[in-house]
Amino acid sequence: MAKRVKAPADPVRQKAFERLRLRDRIEPGVRVLFVGINPGVRSAETGHHFAGYSNRFWKLLYESRLVPEPITYVDDDRLPEFGYGITNIVARPSPGMSDLRPHEYQDGARVLLDKIQTFRPQVVALVGVTVYRALLISLGDPQALKRPVTLGVQKPPVPFPAKVFVLPNPSGRNANYSHDEMLRAFRALKRARR
């Protein structure tokens, strides 16, 4: 069997998607603000959050009964009708989070804090441990990278205007959690938002 050779990245396509930005889906009255790491290439190209073929975010929203009907990435603009908003900690799209630089997380966390102050969600649901650690670092917690993180409600190191909840990253690349573990976390978020 011949070994597959990875094709080199298309620099024209890469430049095109790196300039794209997803529109936040946040409106006044948001109860839960979902915060992803950054848009993947497919999300950037489609203009919709969590659009990756193997991403389980939308399926988990419905299975946990956070939304009353099945929706997909093309319905991300409907999230506010359910009391939800969605944004990313880093606006720049990339093929993977390993392409992001530390200062992008810190800069993005400051922008995120402004959005939280503006929209005042009851719960900030950080979609991935990486997002939570970036937020902690921006809040001045130098131990954020060393401390183990469990899914669920968190206690921020400083007074914070919303309840903080950590969800697993639902990307198909995330092998740290099974589907059942992810579903339990999303169901726990449903209980925590009350």
Q: How many domains does the chain have?
A: 1
Domain for residue 12, yes or no? no
Backbone angles phi, psi at 166, to 5 degrees: -105, 125
Look at the chain and count its residues.
194
Inside any domain, residue 9: no
The SS3 of residue 150 is coil
Q: Give a yes or no: residue 17 inside a domain.
A: no
Which pLDDT value is given to residue 110?
87
**Cβ(177)–Cβ(170) below 8 Å:** no
121 domain-assigned: yes
pLDDT number for residue 12: 53
Mean pLDDT of 65-86: 97
Q: Which domain holds residue 160?
A: 36-192
Given a cut of 60, whether residue 181 has pLDDT beyond it is: yes
**Strand runs labelled E in 42-177:** 84-88, 123-127, 152-154, 163-167
In a domain, 3, yes or no: no
Least-confidence region, from 6-15, 49-58, 92-101, 178-187: 6-15
Position 51 pLDDT exceeds 80: yes
Flag whether pLDDT at 69 surpasses 70. Answer: yes
Is 7 contained in some domain?
no
CATH assignment of the domain containing 127: 3.40.470.10
Indicate whether 60 belongs to any domain.
yes
What is residue 84's predicted lDDT score, i.e. its pLDDT?
97
**Domain assignment of residue 117, yes or no:** yes
pLDDT confidence bin for 38, thresholds 50/70/90 = confident
* % of the chain beyond a pLDDT of 90: 50
Give the integer Cα–Cα distance in Å for 72 and 51. Answer: 8
**Is the CB of residue 57 less than 8 Å from the CB of residue 173?**
no
The pLDDT value recorded for residue 8 is: 45
